[in-house]
Homo-oligomer: A and B are copies of this chain.
Amino acid sequence: MAEPLTAEQIESALNDLPGWSYADDKLQKRFEFGSFKEAMSFLVRVGFEAEAMGHHPELFNVYSKVDIALNTHDAGGKVTELDVRLAKAIESFAWRD
């Protein structure tokens, strides 16, 4: 059972996650790409990572934009270490400027 992070822990995690914010009990970020194809490629890459971790994000795409929101179902929809880990993994391969 995943433990919800405290406000301080979330604040601290966000220091290492440029562009991410905490809202509605979720870690969130909008990614903008140069095309729909790039956005879809990114979605698929996120999907593989999520499946490997057994932890799945909310993904919203319209054209070249992808919005990601992370929380943990097993922790009552709160942010846990698992969300921070997935956000960091996403950052590691988010190919854009």
Give A39-85 interface residues, CB cut-off 8 Å to B.
40, 43-44, 47, 50-51, 56-63
Interface string of A22-41 (1 = CB under 8 A from B): 00000000000000110010
- 8 smallest beta-carbon distances between A and B, as pairs: A40-B47, A59-B61, A58-B62, A56-B63, A60-B60, A36-B56, A36-B51, A44-B44
Q: How many copies does the complex hold?
A: 2
Given A37-B51, A43-B43, A44-B44, verify A60-B59 contact (CB < 8 Å): yes
Q: CB < 8 Å: which of B36, B56, B57 contacts A47?
A: B36
| B residues near A60, Cβ cutoff 8 Å | 58-61
Give the distance in Å from the alpha carbon of A57 to the alpha carbon of B60 in the complex.
11
